[in-house]
């Protein structure tokens, strides 16, 4: 009996290998990349799978990984919360891939603190000073006497890149005392648990467990991001290898349809058109 089972396992394994074959056409859409765009990609995926019957898988491993996957040809769409870097573009072109980026939504990079923190507004310079490590106590920026815990994102994160570009400067080193978290959700969680912490997350991740603060006097919200008054806003991209065609194009264009726009709004992002 046992022997029969083992044989049948082996036979079915061989059968599997033969019947499928790597040449079989890929039938789903594979998406990899940003954790910020994650909620959007997941909701689009659920809608697309449901309405079109095409399976869509979404990984949230960071914008950098998304770009790498696209360059290696292992995903159809890379979701990114920053634009592609020159070296990524060069790597893609050397493999004969011309990345085409489409903006699916706008997002505000919200600075967040623990709700217990009375500080409700910082200037860009103050934030930069905190992240460079020259300001280490909330008292120095008009808050209570408490040490500042800086929370940043990993190097793979598009949110981190955008933050550096918009606030502290691309080449500037962030203080060594800064703590690194691997996703928007993890940053939010850390800040909701630590009274002296400051961090940044996408607008879609804000809830009552953290407090968003005004930057240069402007609070992040869909309105201030749309009209451009909030200084830390950025586009969110879906990048494809070459001009998107067929179902991939259809998927990306969801962001321009009424239902796509509704999803963008309900998730706390800002529509483009």
Partner 1 sequence: MNLGTRKLLDRSFTALGISSIVIMGLMLLVVLVPIVSNGIGAIVFKSTIEHRKMLYHEFNRGDKADLQREIASSDASRKEIYRMLDTFDAELSKMDETRQQEYREKFEQVKNSLRALLGPIPGDEEPALARLKYGQTRWEKAEEKLHELLFEKKWDYSNPDEMAKEYEVSRSASFEGTSLVRLFPYVEKNIDRLLQPEWTFYWGFITDSSVDAHFFGGIWPEIQGTLFLAVGAMLFAFPLGVIGAIYFTEYARDGFLTSLLRSANSTLAGVPSIVFGLFGLTFFINTLKVSESKSVLAGSLTLAIMILPTIIRSSEEAILAVPKTYKEASLGLGSTKWNTIIKVILPAALPGILTGGVLSLGRAAGETAPIIFTAAVSVGSAIGLADVLSSPTPALSWNIYNLASEHEAAAEIRHVQYGMVLALMTIVTLLNMSAIVLRARISKKLKG
Closest CB 56 distance from partner 1, rounded Å: 7
Closest CB 114 distance from partner 1, rounded Å: 8
Is 76 exposed, middle or buried (CB count within 10 Å of its CB: 0-12, 13-18, 19+)?
Answer: buried
Angstrom distances, CA of residue 100 to CA of 87, 110, 248: 15, 27, 12
Count of alpha carbons within 13 angstroms of residue 117, beta-carbon side:
33
Report the residue from 79, 81, 83, 117 that binds partner 1 according to the rule CB under 8 A.
117
- Stretch in the footprint of partner 1 (CB under 8 A) among 83-91, 155-163, 213-221, 257-265: 257-265
Query: Which residues sit opposite 110 in a β-bridge?
Result: 201
Closest CB 171 distance from partner 1, rounded Å: 28
3-state secondary structure of 111: strand
Query: What is the number of other CB atoms lying within 10 angstroms of the CB of residue 195?
Result: 16
Binding of residue 73 to partner 1 (CB under 8 A): yes
Is the CB of residue 230 less than 8 Å from the CB of residue 108?
A: yes
Binding of residue 183 to partner 1 (CB under 8 A): yes
Report the residue from 142, 169, 217, 242 that binds partner 1 according to the rule CB under 8 A.
142
Alpha-carbon gap, residue 40 to 25, rounded angstroms: 27
Alpha-carbon gap, residue 136 to 178, rounded angstroms: 11
Considering beta carbons, is residue 102 or 204 the nearer one to partner 1? 204
Closest CB 211 distance from partner 1, rounded Å: 8
Alpha-carbon gap, residue 31 to 153, rounded angstroms: 21
Closest CB 181 distance from partner 1, rounded Å: 8
User: How many chain residues interact with partner 1 (CB under 8 A)?
Assistant: 67
Binding of residue 140 to partner 1 (CB under 8 A): no
Query: What is the number of other CB atoms lying within 10 angstroms of the CB of residue 177?
Result: 11
Considering beta carbons, is residue 204 or 220 the nearer one to partner 1? 204
Considering beta carbons, is residue 83 or 184 the nearer one to partner 1? 184
Report the residue from 89, 136, 185, 272 that binds partner 1 according to the rule CB under 8 A.
185
Report the residue from 124, 132, 195, 226 that binds partner 1 according to the rule CB under 8 A.
195
Binding of residue 145 to partner 1 (CB under 8 A): yes
Helices (H), strands (E): how many in the chain?
A: 10, 11
What six digits make up the tokens of 1?
């009996």
What six digits make up the tokens of 209?
């467990």
Question: Which positions lie near partner 1, rule CB under 8 A?
Answer: 2, 9-10, 13, 16, 19-22, 24, 26-28, 30, 32, 35, 38-39, 41-43, 45-47, 49, 55-61, 69, 72-76, 114-118, 139, 142-146, 182-186, 189, 195-196, 204-205, 207-209, 259, 262-263, 266-267
């Amino acid at each position: 009996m046992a022997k029969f089972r083992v044989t049948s396992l082996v036979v079915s394994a061989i059968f599997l290998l033969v019947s499928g074959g790597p040449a079989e056409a890929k039938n789903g859409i594979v998406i990899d990349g940003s954790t910020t765009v994650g909620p959007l990609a997941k909701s689009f995926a659920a809608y697309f799978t449901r309405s079109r019957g095409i399976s869509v898988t979404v990984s949230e491993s960071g914008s950098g990984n998304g770009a790498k996957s696209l360059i290696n040809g292992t995903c159809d769409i890379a979701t990114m919360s920053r634009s592609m870097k020159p070296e990524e573009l060069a790597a893609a072109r050397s493999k004969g891939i011309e990345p085409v980026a489409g903006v699916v939504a706008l997002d505000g990079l919200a600075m967040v603190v623990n709700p217990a923190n009375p500080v409700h507004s910082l200037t860009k310079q103050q934030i930069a000073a905190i992240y460079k490590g020259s300001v280490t106590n909330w008292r120095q920026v008009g808050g209570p006497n408490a040490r500042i815990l800086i929370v940043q994102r990993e190097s793979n994160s598009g949110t981190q890149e955008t933050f550096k570009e918009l606030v502290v400067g691309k080449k500037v080193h962030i203080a060594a005392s800064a703590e690194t978290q691997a996703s928007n959700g993890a940053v939010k969680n850390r800040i909701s648990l630590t009274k002296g912490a400051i961090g940044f997350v996408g607008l879609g991740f804000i809830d009552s467990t953290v407090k968003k603060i005004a930057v240069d006097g402007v609070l992040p919200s869909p309105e201030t991001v749309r009209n451009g008054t909030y200084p830390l806003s950025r586009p969110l991209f879906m990048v494809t290898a070459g001009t998107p065609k067929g179902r991939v194009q259809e998927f990306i264009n969801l962001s321009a349809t009424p239902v796509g726009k509704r999803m963008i709004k309900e998730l706390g992002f800002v529509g483009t058109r």
